[in-house]
Amino acid sequence: MSYSPLIDELIDALRCLPGVGAKSAQRMSFQLLERNRPGAARLAAALAKAVDKVGHCASCRTLTENEQCFICADSRRDTDTICVVESPADVVAFEQSGDYKGLYFVLMGHLSPIDGIGPEEIGIDKLLQRTSELAVNELILATNPTVEGEATAYYITEQMRSRGIAVSRIAHGVPLGGELEYVDSGTLAHALKGRRRID
Amino acid sequence: MSYSPLIDELIDALRCLPGVGAKSAQRMSFQLLERNRPGAARLAAALAKAVDKVGHCASCRTLTENEQCFICADSRRDTDTICVVESPADVVAFEQSGDYKGLYFVLMGHLSPIDGIGPEEIGIDKLLQRTSELAVNELILATNPTVEGEATAYYITEQMRSRGIAVSRIAHGVPLGGELEYVDSGTLAHALKGRRRID
Ligand SMILES: [Zn+2]
Ligand SMILES: [Zn+2]
């Protein structure tokens, strides 16, 4: 049904959020207008400002409003290792694990010829330039274990091999603490194929 | 972790949306900035405009940017019946059922002395004024079947009784098509207590 042009437009606009359908967009609209107008005004301002100012890190391509992101700008990071990921959310996941001290390179996607996404779109030139200017000695490929992620990892491996840079791929398999019966069969097959001999 | 001041602020601001926690706020922020900046800009504008312009209907108190909402302004509605609900979402639910042709009055809440919400805050004066200016002959109480909703319905009933206006309460019980075993026990107890003799 129709409420009023402005409320209809708000409900419709909220549906651009991932995971928000018609019903929750309606609930969100009413809740904001009835009970949290300061929150709604703050969200409007935050969205407008982020859309206007957030771009990509000149060094690693992740999202940032600065010339360089806070990781690339941090002089304590090891500059001889670069971990290649598909998206800024993957950087967050690695940072939360707390174990990695090197730099990142964010492809902002993966190779997908069918969608017109080739090496240029995922910044391979920039990655090659970065690896040579930093004298990187290990490139860790952490693209997703999907068909496209694997193809992208393969492509980057070929590019690096011809330049003599060591490339590694993160391990995939059964998550720690995961019970076998709840692990999907693709992961299980992968874990089996990737088994290592215990000496 | 911290991304950049503007992205942190966006993630935090998205948490004003009902049902959106830290993890989904992060996913939403990245998704909007990576893939849907026009959608984000549109949402920012819709929020700002709605916060600025949407107020309450002068007749029934529901949310609208006009002096009167589209229902109160619709001359085809029956003006001798008013259905009293707690929130604009309840109006939507009744309109979607398609059976009701009268007007509404939206309390925008319920009596809650502990939170300082008394008759004035839920617009009882306005409701009394409306019932007399429209010569209403039936007031349907559709507040929620909660302690506060029942107390509010009871209070309104008392007010109307002394003015000789007929008051009815919508039926509560097992939903049509609902299987008894999936109905919560409170509803079931209510349905049992409210049983009617079949002649
Ligand atoms: Zn960076
Ligand atoms: Zn109205």
Domain co-membership, A69 together with A35: no
* A61: region left, alpha or beta (phi > 0 left; psi from -120 to 50 alpha): left
Residue A172 confidence (pLDDT) above 90: no
Distance (Å, rounded) from C-alpha A126 to C-alpha A132?
10
Task: Answer yes or no: do B14 and A96 touch at CB < 8 A.
Answer: no
Instruction: Please state, as a whole number, how many other Cβ atoms lie within 10 Å of the Cβ of residue A89.
Output: 17
Model pLDDT, residue B39: 97
Pair B138, B160 in one domain: yes
Residue A27 sits in the same domain as residue A92: no
What is the CATH classification number for the domain harbouring A31? 1.10.8.420
Answer whether residue A13 is part of any domain: yes
Closest CA to B63 of A11, A186, A42: A11
B46 CB neighbours in chain A (<8 A) are 6, 9-10, 12-14
Do A93 and A154 lie in one domain? The reply is: yes
Gap between the Cα atoms of A99 and A96, Å rounded:
8
Q: Which residues contact B93 (CB under 8 A, 6 or more apart)?
A: none
Identify whether A138 is part of a domain. Answer: yes
Work out the average pLDDT over B39-64: 97
Is this prediction's pTM over 0.90? no
In a domain, residue A151? The reply is yes
A128 to A76, A83, A89, A91: CA distances (angstroms) = 22, 13, 22, 19
Tell me the chain A residues in contact with residue B31 when contact means C-beta distances shorter than 8 Å: 17-18
User: Please, what is the end-to-end C-alpha distance for chain A in angstroms?
Assistant: 68
Mean pLDDT of A2-22: 92
For A:107-136, CB contacts with B below 8 A are 108
Evaluate the CA torsion angle A180, A184, A190, A193 in order and state its sign: positive
Identify which of B82, B86, B81 has the alpha carbon closest to the alpha carbon of residue B150: B86
* Distance from residue A81's CA to the centre of ligand 2 (Å): 64
Domain count across chain A: 2
Taking an 8 Å cut-off on Cβ atoms, the answer to whether B96 and A13 are in contact is no
CA distance linking residue A139 with residue A168, whole number of Å: 6
Do B48 and B73 belong to one domain? Answer: no
Angle CA A117–A148–A54, to nearest 5:
55
Residues A94 and A149 in one domain: yes
Q: What is the ipTM of this complex?
A: 0.82
B44 to A48: CB separation less than 8 angstroms, yes or no: yes
| Chain segment B171-193, per-residue pLDDT in tens | 878 777 767 677 777 777 777 77
Q: Are residues A67 and A137 in the same domain?
A: yes
Choose the closest CB to A30 out of B1, B29, B88: B88
Could you list the residue range(s) of the whole structural domain that residue B33 is in?
5-53
Average pLDDT of the residues in B6-13: 96
Q: How many CB pairs under 8 A join A and B?
A: 194
CATH of residue B157's domain is 3.40.1360.10
Q: Is there a domain that residue A189 lies in?
A: no
Cβ–Cβ below 8 Å for A54 and B92: no
Task: Provide the residues around ligand 2 (an ion) whose CB is within 5 A.
Answer: B 57, 59-60, 69, 72
* pLDDT attached to residue A94: 85
Residues of A in contact with B29 (CB under 8 A): 50
Within an 8 Å CB–CB cutoff, is residue A65 touching chain B?
yes
In a domain, B182, yes or no: no
- How many angstroms separate the CA of residue A14 from the nearest CA in chain B? 6
pLDDT at position B81: 93
Residue ranges of A 132-171 with Cβ closer than 8 A to chain B: none
What's the mean pLDDT when you consider all of chain B? 90
A175 part of a folded domain: no
Please write the tens of the pLDDT for every residue from B163-174: 888 898 888 787
